[in-house]
Amino acid sequence: MFLPLFLAFTLLPAIEIYFLFKIGSTLGGLNTFLFVIFTGAVGAYLAKLEGRLILQKISNELNRGQIPSDSIISGLLIFAGGLLLLTPGFLTDFIGFSFVFPGTRHLLVIFFKGVFGKAIQSGNVQFYSNFTGSGMSGSSSYHYESHSGPKQVGPDTFEAEYKKKS
């Protein structure tokens, strides 16, 4: 857990500062500042637009009785991309735009479905919840652990039995 936190909160900002200084020395401070503001605004607009389209797609798929697995992963990528685009910097903008644009996002959805599929098949999937069934927040925590291997019943669907551990 240390390495991802180190990368996210130390290494990534250091790389962003380096790029900001390097590009700022070429374009000038004001132009670099305006570019960062521009990419943040464009990114927020694109994330909002794509997010609405994905929510509509999820709703349509659910109304047809389909499981919207691709759409849910797309929605998570759009959300993460929007956050990255609001973060000042060039590297985060590049990653954020790749999460938000439909073409690159489609490739990332395929990648993450493979990752999730392997995690499900290996039994490494765990679910934690910090709320009670009444919808109110509480301190109870649930840990679900597979006691029989997941069975693939469709191209995007897995079936498994779970037992609640207290």
Q: What is the average per-residue pLDDT within 105-110? A: 93
User: Do 58 and 108 fall within a single domain?
Assistant: yes
User: Do 128 and 113 fall within a single domain?
Assistant: no
User: Do 140 and 111 fall within a single domain?
Assistant: no
User: Do 6 and 71 fall within a single domain?
Assistant: yes
User: Do 115 and 152 fall within a single domain?
Assistant: no
User: Do 88 and 24 fall within a single domain?
Assistant: yes
- For residue 154, what are the domain limits? 123-166
Q: What is the average per-residue pLDDT within 52-63? A: 89
User: Do 42 and 76 fall within a single domain?
Assistant: yes
- 147: its two tokens: 């006691």
Question: 101 - beta bridge partners?
Answer: none
User: Residue 139 — pLDDT band, cuts 50, 70, 90?
Assistant: very low
User: Do 113 and 147 fall within a single domain?
Assistant: no
Other C-beta atoms closer than 10 Å to the C-beta of 43 total 23
Count of domains for the chain: 2
pLDDT of residue 104: 93
User: Do 14 and 80 fall within a single domain?
Assistant: yes
pLDDT at residue 64 tops 80: yes
pLDDT at residue 26 tops 50: yes
Q: What is the average per-residue pLDDT within 133-145? A: 43
pLDDT of residue 77: 93
Percentage of residues in the chain having pLDDT higher than 90: 40
* Lowest mean pLDDT segment, chosen from 34-38, 67-71, 101-105, 126-130: 126-130
